[in-house]
Amino acid sequence: MRPLRVLVLSHPELIPPESVEGRSERELHEWKTVSSVTAALKAAGHDVRALGVQLELQPIRDEIDEWKPHVVFNLLEEFHGQTAYDQNVASYLELLRVPYTGCNPRGLMLARGKDLSKTLVAYHRIATPTFHVFPMRRKVRRPPRLQFPLIVKTLSEDASRGIAQASVVNSDEKLIERVDFIHERIGTAAIAEQYIEGRELYVGVLGNERLRVFPVWELEFGESSTRANRIATARVKHDPVYQERRGILQGPAEDLAPELAARIQRIAKRIYRTLALDGYARIDFRLSAESVPYFLEANPNPEIAIHEEFAEAADYDGLDYTALLERILALGIRRAEVRG
């Protein structure tokens, strides 16, 4: 790929300073994505600038007018403190007619609401857990079709926010308690869905029209208490110290029959297209003891740091990290060209 001017957009607190010497492991972990992306693109010969954006769109316009980047690498997962506003930044880039990486605004919107994405996917006869949404400021009443055990999550936030062992409930009292927690502490509606005991599987998908599906990946929960539910809590996903202590790993899903792995990959492609996703995304499943893959959620613009699930699966499939990032850049540029 020819050298490009690449403007990387991210939350200001996730952009590392010029020197990280003496910084804590926690800080380095928070900066890992921007560090990985910018370092790899610079090493590949691209001119890269990182811009922190959170409260105003004007800095984006100013940087584009002044520097004229060929493409924006969009790493924003929220704007103005709201995850639902990530689609608005993508829309703004489209209005400016600037190529950008990752998912389009429509796909971001469809995937954001866990209820909407499950409803659309279920319409296409893909297995999803039975669920019910509990809006804010409403009395919690469990419908009879919703049977225990259940797992209670925020309806619209991602990154396992609000998920803990207490999220799995077995009584109406615990359900009410956890829904209230989501309402009060997270500030969103809650979704309670059938808890599927089984394996946590991820499938990375790359592409706009023509799709490349990476091998099925698995989150290995390692050592845990016999009373602990094997779920992707915030600590399991984002706490390196906890991961090391518990032996939590991620890697290729082993002992999957080839026909089952191929079926899960086909389902991931169907979900990707159903939700109008493009660029790149990760589709999350729970594989039951009966070998039924249940769709949990779609993650457009997933974590793209070098040693996280998406990049590791790409590398395992023969696409190294630099090649992956350059392919993502090319997809963003191509989408802009197709749209005129």
For 304, phi and psi rounded to 5 degrees? -120, 10
Ordered by where they begin, the domains of the chain are 5-102 (3.40.50.20), 128-194 (3.30.1490), 197-338 (3.30.470.20)
Instruction: Report pLDDT digits (tens) over 116-168.
Output: 999 999 999 999 999 999 999 899 999 999 999 999 999 988 767 778 899 99
Q: CB–CB of 96/124 below 8 Å?
A: no
Cis peptide before 16 (omega within 30 of 0): no
Q: Which residue(s) pair with 52 in the sheet? A: 10
pLDDT at 316: 97
Q: What is the mean pLDDT of the chain?
A: 92
Band of residue 226 on the pLDDT scale cut at 50, 70, 90: low
pTM: 0.93
pLDDT at 224: 61
pLDDT at 26: 76
What does the pLDDT average to over 73-82?
92
Write the CB contacts of 60 (distance below 8 Å, at least 6 apart in sequence): 9, 51, 53, 89, 92, 93, 96
Instruction: Report pLDDT digits (tens) over 282-297.
Output: 999 999 999 999 999 9
Report the percentage of the chain scoring pLDDT > 70: 98
